[in-house]
A and B are shown apart, each in its own frame.
Chain A
């Protein structure tokens, strides 16, 4: 942590939490029946539901993850924005209305409406659980990341606080209160992101991000053959040097007893200062060679050249939204790239000069151009990501259940349009917030997820506290929605329907609350376990699992008469297993296990390209093989044909 705690942040944060809890108490009094618990009684206004949709959807991944990804890797982060929104087209045009016609309380009900099949009940409830848990992990990590700078507490306590509050909300009121929490938070998130963007544009571009910004030094290198042997600056003494990935040379120097890390420049003449975190044998960490309390670890990200109308300037002053982008495209900035030097137990972040042109086109994170050495697998990875984002939205159970909270198909449709407009507008803002964070010296290289809130802090601690509180509420709301969906899968789909436990309405609600409690505890544990992973990347994986496990079933059920119950069940199982299997063997996970990325047996980070077609093929083949089952299917779907 490299920032101080603010009393304002704590006050505003607490006010928020109290407000949210108050709301949930208020609606708790009104929630008595099962349909009230799972589907808010089906009587939420479409406008409220639309913004609540946006609230559900704009999770920690969108605000924290995408902004962070754009700040570190430019346009590649924005690809997530484009894909996440495009997914709503599938939801609106193909899934929303028919699903509303089919559905009762949950996604499993809808899939099973025509079949009344045990195997669908089981597989669909498992799939709801798996997808929701994949989605829960990044939310919990985001919560922990937020709590660190907000309240100065350790990461695990943030996860614990969110988990406990959410369990409380869900266990007291269910869907009605989560809908209103999502509505308030969705609306606030959009309003304050707009305000933040106005600040960014008004601030324009500036070579000097602020009085305290660290000026990175460059010193001469003494090189013997290919080895660095010292520096021309006599105030530093040489300790050792390391070569990583065969092309990067990192040098450890010492000045007045403090170790500092430098990177040898490409032309081997100079050494550029880096950020470093070294872990000592006893587990203590040194930030840039000193204890954390010395505050020598800096927030970074700056411009090195700004060009306006062909002339180099120090700052631009206020810019319009399009002028901001075109000016940035002509400018140059410095990003910071992370590398682990395992032999020295040190992680470094070195300066990577990047042209504005590269920042505003895809390719910095995902290799897609053959000119930069992209292989066929790199290209497939890009394709796979765009496919999973496009198809994932309409397969997310916690989004699907929101269709049951409004009164009619027309209302479901209107809700979706309100949601698409709000979400689309927000996603355009993510580009400005991410780029703003990348050039204003606010980035904490240890936590890309905090880029958005830290940018807000650059403009004032008031804005920071409000934005952080909203981000925290974002996590609360999304986690609540996910837990309602998971508890529905356990109590309603599995216990009530699959095991056929005849439960009274009251018992059903009680079972749901107990299930919510269990899932909540599980989510807390996972959030602590997976600390430090990028939240948007993880949500991308949740999308891939959802698209593989659920989407073929939904689409074929709606558009292919020959779909059978066994076809759906096998497709769900195939989708879950293949996508999770590929994820576990992917380069990103291998890096997480501590192995080299190159050792991963499947060179794909995003599984969709393999698992979605596979689940579809299985559905078609199994359905064709089991056609005779369909003679008995329940025909309550075709009442409108």
Chain B
């Protein structure tokens, strides 16, 4: 009675995808930490106008949200490529 809801095939791209995920995670964490760091060290900076007539809080806050979406799409595209390439190759060689 104890089995996965879905049976998954072996995924040869798993290791590479996981590395890619870690790299992208670190990149985003650095940008996010930057925001928290400014808030901790010099919050007045967040009130300064940086782009157009918008202050840093707005630009950085919106930026973090948009960046998450963009990086999500990049990750998906790269993972799809890895899966197509590696799983196809391994299977044909078996």
Contacts and interface: CB of A to CB of B under 8 A. Distances in A.
Interface of A: 34-35, 38-39, 41-42, 75, 78-79, 81-82, 85-86, 88-90, 92-94, 97-98, 100-101, 103-105, 322, 325-326, 329, 357, 360-363, 368-369, 371, 379, 382-383, 386-387, 390, 404, 407-410, 413-414, 416-417, 420-421, 424, 427-428, 431, 505, 508, 558-559, 639-641
A7 to B, nearest CB: 38
Contacts of B43: 361-363, 368-369
A326 B93 CA distance: 60
A93 B66 contact: no
B64 A82 contact: yes
Given A90-B25, A101-B8, A416-B72, A368 B65 contact: no
A386 B36 contact: yes
B55 to A, nearest CB: 6
A326 B54 CA distance: 6
A420 B72 contact: yes
B68 A424 contact: yes
Contacts of A97: 14, 17-18, 21
Nearest to A417: B72
A75 B35 CA distance: 14
B50 interface: no
A39 B46 CA distance: 44
A291 B40 CA distance: 46
Classify chain B's interface size. Answer: 35 or more
B33 to A, nearest CB: 9
Given A360-B55, A369-B44, A82 B65 contact: yes
Given A97-B17, A326-B53, A390-B32, A410 B47 contact: no
A383 B40 contact: yes
13 contacts: A82-B61, A82-B64, A93-B21, A93-B75, A326-B52, A360-B57, A362-B46, A363-B43, A369-B43, A410-B79, A420-B69, A424-B65, A640-B12
Nearest to B31: A86
Nearest to A34: B1
Nearest first, the 6 closest Cβ-Cβ pairs linking A and B are: A326-B53, A93-B21, A42-B5, A42-B6, A93-B25, A39-B5
Given A41-B5, A329-B53, A420-B72, 19 more contacts: A34-B1, A35-B5, A39-B5, A42-B6, A81-B61, A85-B64, A89-B72, A93-B22, A97-B17, A104-B3, A104-B4, A104-B5, A360-B55, A362-B46, A368-B43, A371-B44, A408-B8, A417-B72, A431-B61
A29 to B, nearest CB: 20
A571 B35 CA distance: 29
B86 to A, nearest CB: 11
A404 B6 CA distance: 8
Interface in B7-29: 8, 10-12, 14-15, 17-18, 21-22, 24-25, 28-29
B47 A361 contact: yes
A404 B5 contact: yes
A161 B21 CA distance: 43
Contacts of B54: 322, 325-326
A90 B29 CA distance: 9
A505 B1 contact: yes
A427 B63 CA distance: 12
A325 B49 CA distance: 12
Nearest to A38: B5
A104 B2 contact: yes
A430 B29 CA distance: 23
Contact of B72 (A92, A407, A508): A92
Nearest to A98: B18
B5 A86 contact: no
A103 B2 CA distance: 11
- Central interface residue in A104, A363, A640, A641, by most chain B CB within 10 Å: A640
B14 A424 contact: no
A414 B4 contact: no
Interface string B64-81: 111011011101100110
Contacts of A322: 52-54
Contacts of A408: 6, 8
